[in-house]
Amino acid sequence: MASLGHGDASISCSKPENGFVDSVSFIHSEKAVEELLQQTPVDGMDEHLIEFSEALRTVAKALRRAAEGKASAQAEAAEWKRRYELERTRNIQMERKARIAARSSAEENGDFDCGRVENPDNQLIQQNELDEHSEKCCMKHGICSHEVLRDRVSDSNCNKDHSKMMRKASFKLSWWCKGENGDQHKHDIVSFEKGNITTAERSSRQISLKWESDPQTVLILTKPNSVSVRILCAQMVRWLKEKKKLHIYVEPRVRVELLAESSNFNYVQTWKDDGEISLLHTKVDLVITLGGDGTVLWAASMFKGPVPPIVPFSLGSLGFMTPFHSEHYKEYLDSVLRGPISITLRHRLLCRVVRDAAKNEYETEEPILVLNEVTIDRGISSYLTNLECYCDNSFVTCVQGDGLILSTTSGSTAYSLAAGGSMVHPQVPGILFTPICPHSLSFRPLILPEHVTVRIVVPFNSRSPAWASFDGKDRKQLAAGDALLCSMAPWPVPTACQVDSTNDFLRSIHEGLHWNLRKTQSFDGPRDVNEDLNKLRVFPKLRFPAAFRIFRSILETFKLGDDENIRWYVMGDDDTLFFVDNLVEVLSKYDHTKYHYIGMNSEAIKSNMDFTFDMAYGGAGYALSYSLVEQALVPAIDECTERYSFSRTSDELLSFCLSDFGIDVTTEKGFHQIDVHGDISGLLSSHPVSPIVSLHHFDGVNPLFPSKNQYESVNHLMEAAKLDQSRLLQQTICYHRATNWSFSVSWGYSAHIYENVFPRSFLKLPIETFWPFKRSAKPPFYIFKTRFPSGDPCEAPHVFSLES
Cα separation of 582 and 691, whole Å?
A: 6
Catalytic residue among 43, 161, 273, 293: 293
CB 597 within 8 A of CB 743: no
Cα separation of 776 and 773, whole Å?
A: 9
Q: Which of 669, 574, 660 has its CA nearest to residue 616?
A: 669
CB 408 within 8 A of CB 428: no
Neighbouring-strand partners of residue 217:
247
22 catalytic? Reply is no
Instruction: Tell whether the torsion through CA atoms of 45, 49, 53 and 55 is positive or negative.
Output: positive
Cα separation of 154 and 130, whole Å?
A: 5
> How many residues does this entry show for the chain?
804
What are the residue ranges of helices labelled H in 181-311? 227-242, 252-261, 274-277, 293-301
- SS3 of 162-215: HHHHCCCCCEEEEEEECCCCCCCCCCCCEECHHHCCEECCCCCEEEEEEECCCC
Cα separation of 410 and 425, whole Å?
A: 7
Q: Which of 709, 725, 608, 743 has its CA nearest to residue 665?
A: 608
Cα separation of 553 and 275, whole Å?
A: 76
- SS3 of 369-412: EECCEEEEECCCCCCCEEEEEEECCEEEEEEEEEEEEEECCHHH
Cα separation of 302 and 281, whole Å?
A: 9
- For β-strands 431-438 and 493-496, DSSP reports them as unpaired
Question: Which residues have C-beta within 8 Å of that of residue 39, sequence separation ≥ 6?
Answer: 6
Cα separation of 630 and 624, whole Å?
A: 10
In single-letter form, the type of residue at position 621 comes to G
**How big is the chain by its Cα radius of gyration, in Å?**
38
Residues annotated catalytic, as ranges: 293
